Amino acid sequence: MKISPFFVKKKFGKNHIFSIMPHQSVLLFDITLEIPYICASMSAKTVHIKSFGCQMNKLDTALVTSALRQGGFGLVDDEKEADVVLINTCSVRGHAEEKVLSHLGNLKHIKESRPELVVGVIGCMAQRLGAELLGHEAVDVVCGPAQIPQITSLVTEALQEKKKTLAVTRKIRQKADEEETQTLEDFESVFDSDDKQIPNQAFVRAMRGCNNFCTYCIVPYVRGPEVSRPPNAIIEQIKRLAGEGVKLVTLLGQTVNSYKYTAGEKTYCLADLLQMASEVEGIEWLRFVTNYPLEEFFDEIIQAMADLPKVCNFLHMPTQSGSDRILKAMNRNYTVRYYMELLDRARATVPGIAIAGDFIVGFPGETEEDFQATVELVKKVRYKNCFVFKYSPRPGTTAENRLEDDVSEKIKKKRNTELLGVQEKISDELSKEFLNKDVLVLVEGLSKKPHLNKAENKNNPQLVGRTATDWIVVFNGPESLAGEFATVKITKTAPLTLFGELL
Ligand code: 5AD
Ligand code: SF4
């Protein structure tokens, strides 16, 4: 087990180191004394982490998992075996929050028979609800996205002292001070790579927060203002990850294409980051998500995609609606025409680029005509795939404050199904273009039913991977291919999945 200097420095000051002993007990030494003196000892506790939400949350979960593991905690898959249950939460739609609240209800019952169980809520919901969430009978720790560097000490204190703790940002729209930004930076760089959720793939944050204030969206209120990370810190991280075998890095940001960092005379944009990351030996593919339809830097980014072979020809650019009237009410600051022009430019510069989109159906005031405009847009663009969401009013957002949620659940559902159906037909047509072609995939691992798989087909189970353009490919092969590139001949297709044989 590695010693975590970050944890020790934060919790006990820099004069301590600690060591994990047999039976998972932790010994803490004060190194200023001549003979190392055991100044604390605790039995390693176990943690179970549940994660909801977007890639940002997945990255935060990976960081928290690494930090806890290095802090001496054991990670367990079974919640029943855990001394600590952490839930990393999402606030983007009401449904995601309801799932967490219902889970907290179950945990409350478990705590009746196991009062020593510590329950922590981290992430967007922790920031949004703060003290209210701490009032929940099951909850001991509430920790916002900017406070995750404190997670090990918060959990340790909760275990030892049995008191409730709240760690959230008080004024979320205020720019964080230098110390807090530096703490997040240190945390990110120390714990970046210990918990790769998919072999040889890693997320790297390019920026935090969002300044756009789309009227439906909670993100600016829970993740704070936009902050781009220093390019050298990002590149150092990518180099370290490459040294550990990472082949695909996905740069993350709520609006990653607005990445902007000024150092001395030079202002770096996402295209510069892609160029610098491309030069890192060992990195084979680079992706970036997610994008806002924005003119600034767009041509540079698309040109970087065309010029740099490592940058995958894939663009996720949420659209939200095909009606200018609704886009205006959403405060999206662009029109359908503007959006289409950006995509035309992308397609002219990067032939074969795969485009994905997000849509919200049933936004307040959305008429059938508005919705049909969205259907038309989807047909025109011919996305590789689309994510479609039913509008969910989020407390404190402009839409929730000022607009009535006047599209019924029934109509939202109907529009959701219709739009997905239109997209499915397009995805199906696009997938057929791959028939009998050879594609290069980065293998993620066993496909969804690994146990069934392995039992049925021990040395040649069903694997899943993705092409550079983000198509999911399912084929049989040795499990050892996980994290490696493979060439697959496509023999069968479905709307979102290609099936084939390993070459
Ligand atoms: N209701 C429904 N969908 C939403 N999204 C963001 N906020 C809401 C909301 N209040 C969707 C957008 C965004 C994706 C991450 O989630 O489509 O792109
Ligand atoms: Fe939310 Fe809009 Fe920011 Fe995306 S760009 S995170 S939808 S406010």
∠ CA 147-150-154, nearest 5°, is: 115
Q: Which pLDDT score, from 0 to 100, does residue 177 have?
A: 85
The pairs formed by 92-98 with CB atoms below 8 angstroms and a separation of 24 or more are: 92/53, 92/54, 92/124, 92/217, 92/218, 92/219, 92/392, 92/394, 93/389, 93/392, 93/394, 94/392, 94/393, 94/394, 95/392, 96/52, 96/53, 97/125
DSSP character for 450?
Answer: H
The one-letter code for the residue type at 101 is: L
Q: Cα-flanking dihedrals φ and ψ of residue 26, to 5°?
A: -115, 125
Distance 360 CA to ligand 1 centre (A): 6
Distance 201 CA to ligand 1 centre (A): 26
CB 310 within 8 A of CB 284: yes
Which atom of ligand 1 is nearest to 218's Cα?
A: 7
**Alpha-carbon distances, residue 25 vs 21, 49, 65, 175, 501 (angstroms):** 5, 21, 19, 40, 48
The pairs formed by 146-149 with CB atoms below 8 angstroms and a separation of 24 or more are: 146/176, 146/180, 146/184, 146/224, 148/60, 148/63, 148/64, 148/67, 148/122, 148/184, 148/187, 149/6, 149/10, 149/67, 149/183, 149/184, 149/186, 149/187
User: Rounded distance, CA 9 to CA 22, Å?
Assistant: 23
- The count of C-alpha atoms lying within 13 angstroms of the C-alpha of 416, restricted to the half-sphere facing its C-beta, is 16
**Alpha-carbon distances, residue 337 vs 323, 410, 419 (angstroms):** 10, 30, 20
User: Rounded distance, CA 155 to CA 181, Å?
Assistant: 22
Q: In angstroms, how far is CA 116 from the centroid of its own chain?
A: 31
Q: Which pLDDT score, from 0 to 100, does residue 162 have?
A: 85
C-beta of 389 in contact with ligand 1 (< 6 A):
yes
Omega into 250 within 30° of 0, i.e. cis?
no
Q: Which pLDDT score, from 0 to 100, does residue 201 have?
A: 95
Which atom of ligand 2 is nearest to 254's Cα?
A: 6
Helix, strand, or coil (residue 162)? coil
Choose one of 55, 212, 215, 216 to mutate for the ligand 1 pocket test, by most ligand atoms within 8 angstroms of C-beta: 216
C-beta of 168 in contact with ligand 1 (< 6 A):
no
Write the CB contacts of 363 (distance below 8 Å, at least 6 apart in sequence).
Answer: 216, 320, 321, 326, 329, 330, 391, 399, 407
C-beta of 216 in contact with ligand 1 (< 6 A):
yes
Which atom of ligand 1 is nearest to 318's Cα?
A: 18
C-beta of 473 in contact with ligand 1 (< 6 A):
no
Q: Which pLDDT score, from 0 to 100, does residue 2 have?
A: 39
Distance 209 CA to ligand 2 centre (A): 9
Helices (H), 279-316: 298-307
C-beta of 215 in contact with ligand 1 (< 6 A):
no
Both structure tokens of 452 = 């069934």
User: Rounded distance, CA 457 to CA 454, Å?
Assistant: 5
Which atom of ligand 1 is nearest to 399's Cα?
A: 10
Both structure tokens of 485 = 């590139």
Print pLDDT tens along the chain (503 aa). Answer: 334 555 455 555 556 666 655 434 555 666 665 555 554 445 689 999 999 999 999 999 999 999 999 899 999 999 999 999 999 999 999 999 999 999 999 999 999 999 999 999 999 999 999 999 999 999 999 999 999 999 999 999 999 998 899 999 998 888 888 888 899 999 988 776 656 679 999 999 999 999 999 999 999 999 999 999 999 999 999 999 999 999 999 999 999 999 999 999 999 999 999 999 999 999 999 999 999 999 999 999 999 999 999 999 999 999 999 999 999 999 999 999 999 999 999 999 999 999 999 999 999 999 999 999 999 999 999 999 999 999 999 999 999 999 999 999 999 999 999 999 999 999 999 999 999 999 999 999 999 865 555 556 778 899 999 999 999 999 999 999 999 999 999 999 999 899 999 99
Q: Which pLDDT score, from 0 to 100, does residue 3 have?
A: 42
Q: Which residues of 354-372 are buried (b: 16+ CB within 10 A; e: fewer)?
A: bbbbebbbbbbebeeebbe
Write the CB contacts of 480 (distance below 8 Å, at least 6 apart in sequence).
Answer: none
Q: Which residue CA neighbors atom 2 of ligand 2 most closely?
A: 214
Q: Which pLDDT score, from 0 to 100, does residue 220 have?
A: 96
Distance 270 CA to ligand 2 centre (A): 18
Both structure tokens of 360 = 């919200």
C-beta of 292 in contact with ligand 1 (< 6 A):
no
C-beta of 219 in contact with ligand 2 (< 6 A):
yes
Both structure tokens of 451 = 């146990």
User: Rounded distance, CA 54 to CA 95, Å?
Assistant: 14
